[in-house]
């Protein structure tokens, strides 16, 4: 069984990304930590790199940086994504630019990164790809809550699971696995975007959301990171094309 020794992690400054980077470093992995807004914290084993992973030229720069650091990266953990900044609670409020922005942020970015980083993995006969989907890929009942643009977000996360499943089938013979992780409600510390949106909801809505989770609580970034990192391990070598929910049995 082979564990990864090097990984490219996108969305590395967010709560799940930061937890993932920390856990990878603890396990002896060297990380190229990518984020668009701010440079991830520099630490032993981590090279921060600012890039917009929806921009083909900047993704090409990521690939060059990875080659300089690793030769070939063993793994891609694609966490960057989201529902955008503009609220669109329903179909009528979702204009084409919102739709395209959210699809690009989640799906096109995955395509660009895999097109840049997977071919060298094929050549070395080993690789791991993990993408971040969401349980909202199957839709959300009731009023819009913490997700800015719910309809395109659900569509994008569903597309990402299909993309990942097909990539797994296309690359399995080359020693590459591709899996998706689908978190449910993950709340960070005070001041994080999702936590602020959750706290701004009416009390009854917060109670309703938590009541829909059989585990009785939201998840943590560390719990999601644990699964992401497990899927990079040798023990997960026969898990391929899966989408794994991390949601306290909510889905």
Residues labelled catalytic = 153
Name the phi and psi angles at 232, rounded to 5. -90, -10
Q: ∠ CA(53), CA(55), CA(56), 5° rounding? A: 100
Quick one: tokens of 124? Answer: 């070395």
What SS3 state is found at 217?
A: coil
Length of the chain: 251
Yes or no: say if 132 and 184 are a contact pair by the CB < 8 Å rule: no
| Those residues with Cβ within 8 angstroms of residue 235's Cβ, 6 or more apart along the chain or in another chain | 1
Name the phi and psi angles at 83, rounded to 5. -105, 15
* Nearest-angstrom CA–CA distance, 218 and 130: 22
Beta-strand (E) ranges in the chain? 6-10, 30-35, 46-50, 75-78, 127-132, 176-183, 243-246
What's the farthest any 2 CA atoms get from each other in the chain? 54
* Nearest-angstrom CA–CA distance, 117 and 127: 10
* Nearest-angstrom CA–CA distance, 238 and 57: 34
State the DSSP code for 129.
E
């Amino acid at each position: 069984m082979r564990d990864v020794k090097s990984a490219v992690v996108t969305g590395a400054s967010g709560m799940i990304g930061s937890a993932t980077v920390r856990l990878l470093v603890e396990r002896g992995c060297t990380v190229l930590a990518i984020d668009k807004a701010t440079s991830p914290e520099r630490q032993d084993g981590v090279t921060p790199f600012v890039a917009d992973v929806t921009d083909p030229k900047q993704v090409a720069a990521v690939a060059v940086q990875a080659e300089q650091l690793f030769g070939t990266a063993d793994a891609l953990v694609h966490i960057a994504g989201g529902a955008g900044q503009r609220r669109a609670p329903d179909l009528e409020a979702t204009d084409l630019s919102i739709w395209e922005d959210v699809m690009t942020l989640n799906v096109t970015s995955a395509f660009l990164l895999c097109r840049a980083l997977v071919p060298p993995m094929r050549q070395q006969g080993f690789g791991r790809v993990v993408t971040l989907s969401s349980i909202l890929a199957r839709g959300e009942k009731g009023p819009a809550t913490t997700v800015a643009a719910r309809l395109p977000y659900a569509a994008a996360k569903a597309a990402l699971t299909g993309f990942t499943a097909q990539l797994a089938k296309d690359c399995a013979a080359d020693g590459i696995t591709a899996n998706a992780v689908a978190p449910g409600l993950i709340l960070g510390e005070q001041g994080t975007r999702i936590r602020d949106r959750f706290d701004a909801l009416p009390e009854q809505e917060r109670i309703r959301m938590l009541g829909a989770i059989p585990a009785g609580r939201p998840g943590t970034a560390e719990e999601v990171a644990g699964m992401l990192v497990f899927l990079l391990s040798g023990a997960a070598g026969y898990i391929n094309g899966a989408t794994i929910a991390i949601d306290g049995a909510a889905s």
